[in-house]
Amino acid sequence: MALLLASLVDVHLRMALQEMGRDRRRLVGGMLLLGMGLGLLATSFLLASGALVVWLVRGLGWGLVPALLAMGVLDLALAGIALRVAGVLLQGPYLVKTRAGLVKATRLMAGR
């Protein structure tokens, strides 16, 4: 019984290591792209915010403080949307095959 259990654990461990390698590559790639995208997004927001504040102040005659407050609210809303989308992209089940195999093996061992 101990040899059977050790063999099952070994098989599931190998499966988990393979699955972890795939998940790790996916997560590292996703995080690198997310970081690059956030950096570029921050730069473009800074440039666009500056241009919009100048336009609000000079073109529409707003005061500097109301224009900056409007930009702050807009930036906050866009940041919330971007973080929500990033959270959805990074969400997901990990080690799906390993967990399914462990559940199946446990059920077989328990006699269910």
Q: What is the mean pLDDT of each run of 10 residues along the chain (112 residues)?
A: 76 79 80 90 87 92 91 89 86 72 74 68
- How much is the pLDDT for 102? 72
**Residue 16 corresponds to which amino acid?**
A
CA dihedral 58, 63, 68, 70 (to 10 degrees): -90
- How much is the pLDDT for 112? 66
What one-character-per-residue DSSP string does 5-22 give?
HHHHHHHHHHHHHHHHHH
Q: Which two tokens stand for residue 47?
A: 């440039």
Report how far residue 60's alpha carbon sits from residue 52's, in angstroms, rounded to the nearest whole number. 11
Report how far residue 6's alpha carbon sits from residue 23's, in angstroms, rounded to the nearest whole number. 25
